[in-house]
Structure 1
Amino acid sequence: MLALPWSALAQTGTPGSGLLAPPALPGTLPGGLPLPSLPPGAQQDILQRILDGGAQRPLGQPAPPLAPPLPAAPAPLPPPSLPEEPLSPAESFFAARTAQGEAAPGSPAPPPLRLFGIESLRTPPGAPAPVPGFGTLPDDYLIGRDDEVVLAFRGRTRQTLSLRIGRDGMLLLPDLAPIPAAGRTLRDLRADLSGRAARELGGSEVFLSIGQIRQANLFVGGEVLRPGLQQLTAMASVLDALMASGGIRRTGSLRAIRVEGPAGRRTIDLYPVLAGEGEAPDLRLHEGERILVPPLGGVVAIGGEVMRPGLYELPAGASQAPLAAMLRLAGDPMRPSGHRFLLQTTDAEGRRSWREVGPRDALRRGDALLVQPGSDVLAQQIRLSGHVGAPLVRAATGRGQTLRGLLADPRLVRPDPYPRLGLVWRTDARTRARRFIPFDLGRVLEGRADLPLAEGDEVILLGLPDVLFLAGPSVQQALRGDPPAPSTPPAPTPLPNAAGMPGAALAAATPGAPPPAPAPAIPDCQALVLLTVAAQASPQRFAHARSAGFPDFGRGPCPQVFLDYPTLLPVLMDQTVLLTGEVRLPGLYPILNDTGLDAVLAAAGGAADTADLSGLR
């Protein structure tokens, strides 16, 4: 805050007032720019706020310093993640082969398959070595040098001691002879101490527990990220040692890990641990042992419809393995049955070839297996659509075997259905050609008619608005052979170009530029196009409907049923009868051949009050 001299403040005072007026400001800013001025009302408001704020402290006392803003809480750091590694030689070898087999024409290639289980043993760069947590130690824990034991004596002798096993492996107690402890199990040492306390400290009991576990340096070498000595606890397992060394490289084996020590050599297969398949190996470590990870062995690729697609190593020293065993490692196929196993293998001359194999065959190193469905089609399905509450799919078994069973619940049908005709769209099992089979919906709902259904049938119900559309101007125009009126879709909004002008405006402003092409016209209803073609091909086919002479009262939208089934409209016109004169809803009504006149009149709303039924023609 600037402190003005008293002379400057004094010359701004107003006569007869104890308040100070604001000091005079220069008329220009540094650099010669004019100083913007505020209205007098705004200046008075600012002065009053300054005076109100300064009235709470004596004149000349500096304003209290502003409290520094509280530092914002630092955002939590995301957990460290492993960077995406480049493909290893084995992964690159299978990348092109699996992509060619799985990718459909025109679709992007699937991601390359990666080696199974490698990421499970990785630790992010810079992360501390994993420390195995434990609760109660097992009774078969082997006690070693530098282990700390806690002894609690109760009875005639009451004391608690924390002792460490000496370098000679002995446990030294104040009132007992030295006890050999290193190399013995926790269970054995407890029994020995209890027996000695009972013999030499009559009336006393001793309780043994482990206070601190010894540290051990273990060598991990071979195909690991950080080979060398790793400091671990005596409870560490082979997995802990591998993770402490950063994990196994993509060129290392998970199925032939060697553990060597004074007791000999043993080979560990980690697949039962990582995949949960097979008998888990003994992962415990002992003093003096070291871990060596050899290079990767034979590998096969398993892709397609399996739970865990990837690259899987063959068992140690094996050149092939049963297909069923390798499928279990991949989590088994997704389908319970009906698979096709397509194998890409290599012949003696190095040529790749495809062939189908069975679960009893074997996979060799370098093979790529693709699991596919044997026949990926829908079976035993029936669909109900049209004038229904919601289209639904039923199985072609049980109630779905017949039309009456499918429509057993009348609430599936929307109000105001057209009762005189429904259709079943059926596919011929041999020729795969589709045709419409008509039925009387009213009789089916009343239980007086039925129709067996087959796999793949689509049951189509009509509504009264769908039937009234047959007498509309759009259908009459199509019956006369005139093409349906097209609808022009709205032109998309042109994007501005680099000059900031829309494309159409720039074309109009450019001399000699051709005019923009108009948007193509698209017919509203494809069913009307098919009806127009049928009417032009056979002038006598729809003669009864063409001579109706219904007025042109405006074209309505095409019903959804004709958008879904365009070939349905000409079929319905072949089934129609013409109702005109004194009827409540004149029009064209599709019926079956044995439909009575009373049923047709009821579907049309009945005769008008002025009708003379004796003069029906």
Structure 2
Amino acid sequence: MSEPHEQGRIRMKHAILPLAAALVALGAFPGEERERISAGQAVEAAVAGEAPARLADGRMQQPIHWEPPPPSRFQQFIASIGYPGVQYYGMVIFEGGGGFSHYYRPVPADYLIGPGDEMMLRMWGKVDVREVLIVDPEGRVDLPHAGPLIIAGKRLSDAKKAIANAMSRVFTDFRMDVTITRLRTIEVIVTGEVRQPGLYRVGSGTGILQLLTMAGGVLPTGTMRDVQLLRGGQRIAGLDVYDLLMKGIEPSSGGIIDSDIVFVPQAGVQVAVVGGVKRPAIYELTAEKSLREIIALAGGLDFTSTGNPAVVHRLDDTGRLQGLEFPVDGGGYKPVHGDVVVIPEPFSAPARVVKIGGEVERPGSYPFVDGMRLSELVRQAKGLRSNAYLRGAEFFRASVKALQQERLDEAVRMLELRMTAEGPEIGSPDAAVQLQYRRELLSRLKNVRASGRVSIDLAGALERSGSAADITLEPGDTLVIPLVPSTVAVVG
């Protein structure tokens, strides 16, 4: 039973629209339902995203229940180096599911008329005409008193002009309005890197983005930058979802016809940008080549960012992790699929990296992984150079440095208290000299900084991987391997 009409509002199933919004939507309702609304009666209408869309043949297009996909291997890799929860940019647009109706969206002016479309022709003035026009299989409509007119293949705006011209040859002094009241059903194939590829029966006003949503969205392996509309084996149009999200450029939905194919190719180069940027996410690159352009894609630097240097975590050809540093505003960086670009932040935890320098093939910073050992760090740096001096290797640890500095500061404090308590011998001729010497000694000791150096057996670690000599690393550890000395010390 219909619900009562309320003054100033149109009541629909699942929602009550304010009058202004309802008037905007009213022009998109089928003719019979608009008449019921105008008469103050309720209609059983679907609100976007809440009910299946009705096709032109009366069947219901079932919406797809959207669920977030499991983490991809790239996301798992990003989480393993300390940045969990990083999402693919733009995937959120598919979270609404596919259950929104094309009936209650304005039909665009570039919509292509085809057999099965239903239109309402209204004329007033010296003539009063109210006629339902259905495009027949030959693409014609039968105009009252003017006869058949072919409009299939014309855009809606052009079809209106053609109808007006035809009617003006029969009538004068009239005004006219033509509206789409029912869209024809078409079949479109959605394939490629989507969650549910297949054949979809949809209204002819359905756009590429809506079809992707109905197919469950794009997979992490699919492109968001070059979705293709194919017709007869030829590319007709393309869609860059980033343009919609970043620039508000909405793709046209008027160009899809029966038997078209929406194809999602595999994604191109994908990199993750995390840390001090405004939109941390995984981004697919097209024209973006420099680090500056990639950071701009992520919204630019956040106010918390300390800027330089950016640390790029990357898997090399052997599958080993390496860490590379680049200036955020400079050159030298060439993106590689799977890069994780970390922009430093002062309020975030220090980057989980270990460093190696000196006589190795690839000195630099490398991502820390739990359980990582000394020999693994040397292997990631592509091994030793021929003139590496293992016995002179120096190993520094941040936690040891902090402990050493704490003990050194305590020793200096105790010495200062002792010197103050004893003081120089009163009346001694060199009392002033003693006092000056003690002050200089304390000053030098206070300026001594702990190094955090730890004694290691690098040769033993490399010969016996996993042994006690092959110590387990901590974030912030640094290994420096010097050259073989060219001099000989003679003592005794």
Q: TM-score, normalized by length of structure 2?
A: 0.52
Structure 2 contact 269–284 (Cα < 8 Å) conserved: yes
Q: Using a 3 Å threshold, how does the CA distance of structure 1 residues 170 and 324 change in structure 2: closer, same or farther?
A: same
Unaligned runs of at least 5 residues, structure 2: 1-63, 349-412, 424-492
Larger relative CO (CA 8 A, sep 6+): 1 or 2?
2
Q: Using a 3 Å threshold, how does the CA distance of structure 1 residues 347 and 224 change in structure 2: closer, same or farther?
A: closer
2:324 is the counterpart of 1:367? no
* Equivalences for residues 282-297 of structure 1 within 5 A: 282=252, 284-287=254-257, 288-297=259-268
> Which residue number corresponds to residue 28 of structure 1?
none
Q: Distance between the aligned counterparts of 2:127 and 2:233, measured in 1?
A: 41
Q: Using a 3 Å threshold, how does the CA distance of structure 1 residues 149 and 263 change in structure 2: closer, same or farther?
A: farther
Q: Quote how far apart the aligned CAs of 1:229 are.
A: 1.5
Match of 1:303 among 274, 277, 285: 274
Q: Using a 3 Å threshold, how does the CA distance of structure 1 residues 279 and 190 change in structure 2: closer, same or farther?
A: closer
> Which residue number corresponds to residue 244 of structure 2?
273
Q: Distance between the aligned counterparts of 1:200 and 1:84, measured in 2?
A: 59
> Which residue number corresponds to residue 595 of structure 1?
none
> Which residue number corresponds to residue 580 of structure 1?
none
Q: Using a 3 Å threshold, how does the CA distance of structure 1 residues 135 and 355 change in structure 2: closer, same or farther?
A: closer
> Which residue number corresponds to residue 255 of structure 1?
225
Structure 1 contact 123–247 (Cα < 8 Å) conserved: no
Three-state SS of the structure 2 residue aligned to 1:119 is: helix
2:121 is the counterpart of 1:151? yes
Q: Distance between the aligned counterparts of 1:283 and 1:211, measured in 2?
A: 17
Match of 2:94 among 104, 109, 121: 121
> Which residue number corresponds to residue 334 of structure 1?
302
Structure 1 contact 122–248 (Cα < 8 Å) conserved: no
Percent identity, aligned pairs only, is: 25
Structure 2 contact 118–184 (Cα < 8 Å) conserved: yes
Q: Quote how far apart the aligned CAs of 1:280 are.
A: 6.1
Read off the aligned partner of 1:217 and give its amino acid letter. E
Three-state SS of the structure 2 residue aligned to 1:154 is: strand
2:290 is the counterpart of 1:322? yes
> Which residue number corresponds to residue 42 of structure 2?
none
> Which residue number corresponds to residue 142 of structure 1?
112
Q: Using a 3 Å threshold, how does the CA distance of structure 1 residues 95 and 374 change in structure 2: closer, same or farther?
A: closer
Match of 1:90 among 62, 74, 94: 74
> Which residue number corresponds to residue 500 of structure 1?
none
Structure 1's consecutive aligned runs of 4 or more residues displaced over 4 angstroms after TM superposition are 80-84, 133-136, 277-284, 346-351, 373-376, 533-537
Three-state SS of the structure 2 residue aligned to 1:178 is: strand
Unaligned runs of at least 5 residues, structure 1: 1-79, 100-109, 377-529, 541-617
Q: Quote how far apart the aligned CAs of 1:133 are.
A: 5.7
Read off the aligned partner of 1:356 and give its amino acid letter. F
Q: Using a 3 Å threshold, how does the CA distance of structure 1 residues 251 and 348 change in structure 2: closer, same or farther?
A: closer
Q: Quote how far apart the aligned CAs of 1:137 are.
A: 3.4
Q: Quote how far apart the aligned CAs of 1:151 are.
A: 1.0
Read off the aligned partner of 1:344 and give its amino acid letter. H
Structure 2 contact 99–214 (Cα < 8 Å) conserved: yes
Q: Distance between the aligned counterparts of 1:186 and 1:84, measured in 2?
A: 38
Q: Quote how far apart the aligned CAs of 1:245 are.
A: 1.1
Q: Quote how far apart the aligned CAs of 1:94 are.
A: 3.2
Q: Distance between the aligned counterparts of 2:162 and 2:279, measured in 1?
A: 51
2:84 is the counterpart of 1:111? yes
> Which residue number corresponds to residue 188 of structure 2?
218
Read off the aligned partner of 2:336 and give its amino acid letter. R
Q: Using a 3 Å threshold, how does the CA distance of structure 1 residues 179 and 263 change in structure 2: closer, same or farther?
A: farther
Structure 2 contact 276–305 (Cα < 8 Å) conserved: no
Q: Using a 3 Å threshold, how does the CA distance of structure 1 residues 337 and 354 change in structure 2: closer, same or farther?
A: closer
Q: Distance between the aligned counterparts of 1:325 and 1:280, measured in 2?
A: 23
Three-state SS of the structure 2 residue aligned to 1:306 is: coil
Three-state SS of the structure 2 residue aligned to 1:243 is: helix
Q: Using a 3 Å threshold, how does the CA distance of structure 1 residues 236 and 157 change in structure 2: closer, same or farther?
A: same
Q: Distance between the aligned counterparts of 1:132 and 1:322, measured in 2?
A: 41
1:396-432 per-position Cα deviation (integer Å, ceiling 9, x unaligned):
xxxxxxxxxxxxxxxxxxxxxxxxxxxxxxxxxxxxx
Q: Distance between the aligned counterparts of 1:195 and 1:285, measured in 2?
A: 25
1:416-472 per-position Cα deviation (integer Å, ceiling 9, x unaligned):
xxxxxxxxxxxxxxxxxxxxxxxxxxxxxxxxxxxxxxxxxxxxxxxxxxxxxxxxx
Read off the aligned partner of 1:96 and give its amino acid letter. S
Q: Quote how far apart the aligned CAs of 1:180 are.
A: 0.8
2:164 is the counterpart of 1:166? no
Structure 1 contact 300–312 (Cα < 8 Å) conserved: yes
Structure 1 contact 197–206 (Cα < 8 Å) conserved: no
1:211-248 per-position Cα deviation (integer Å, ceiling 9, x unaligned):
22222221111222221122222222111001111112
1:470-504 per-position Cα deviation (integer Å, ceiling 9, x unaligned):
xxxxxxxxxxxxxxxxxxxxxxxxxxxxxxxxxxx
> Which residue number corresponds to residue 236 of structure 1?
206
Read off the aligned partner of 2:93 and give its amino acid letter. S
Q: Quote how far apart the aligned CAs of 1:323 are.
A: 1.8
2:317 is the counterpart of 1:344? no
Read off the aligned partner of 2:189 and give its amino acid letter. F
> Which residue number corresponds to residue 246 of structure 1?
216
Q: Quote how far apart the aligned CAs of 1:308 are.
A: 1.8
Q: Distance between the aligned counterparts of 1:226 and 1:214, measured in 2?
A: 24
> Which residue number corresponds to residue 386 of structure 1?
none
Two-structure CA RMSD over aligned residues (Å): 3.5
Read off the aligned partner of 1:329 and give its amino acid letter. L
> Which residue number corresponds to residue 264 of structure 1?
234
Three-state SS of the structure 1 residue aligned to 2:274 is: strand
Structure 2 contact 67–95 (Cα < 8 Å) conserved: no
| Rg larger in structure | 1
Q: Using a 3 Å threshold, how does the CA distance of structure 1 residues 334 and 166 change in structure 2: closer, same or farther?
A: same
Structure 1 contact 144–182 (Cα < 8 Å) conserved: yes
Q: Using a 3 Å threshold, how does the CA distance of structure 1 residues 204 and 250 change in structure 2: closer, same or farther?
A: same
Three-state SS of the structure 1 residue aligned to 2:77 is: helix
> Which residue number corresponds to residue 199 of structure 1?
169
Q: Distance between the aligned counterparts of 1:193 and 1:81, measured in 2?
A: 42
Q: Quote how far apart the aligned CAs of 1:300 are.
A: 0.9
Q: Distance between the aligned counterparts of 2:76 and 2:234, measured in 1?
A: 37
1:250-304 per-position Cα deviation (integer Å, ceiling 9, x unaligned):
2222123221014930443222223x05966556542132111223332111111
Read off the aligned partner of 1:114 and give its amino acid letter. Q
* Equivalences for residues 64-75 of structure 1 within 5 A: none
Across the two proteins, how many residue pairs are aligned to each other?
A: 290
Q: Distance between the aligned counterparts of 2:147 and 2:233, measured in 1?
A: 30
Read off the aligned partner of 2:298 and give its amino acid letter. A
Three-state SS of the structure 2 residue aligned to 1:321 is: coil
Q: Using a 3 Å threshold, how does the CA distance of structure 1 residues 326 and 283 change in structure 2: closer, same or farther?
A: farther
Q: Using a 3 Å threshold, how does the CA distance of structure 1 residues 141 and 267 change in structure 2: closer, same or farther?
A: closer
Q: Using a 3 Å threshold, how does the CA distance of structure 1 residues 227 and 375 change in structure 2: closer, same or farther?
A: closer
1:499-518 per-position Cα deviation (integer Å, ceiling 9, x unaligned):
xxxxxxxxxxxxxxxxxxxx
Q: TM-score, normalized by length of structure 1?
A: 0.42
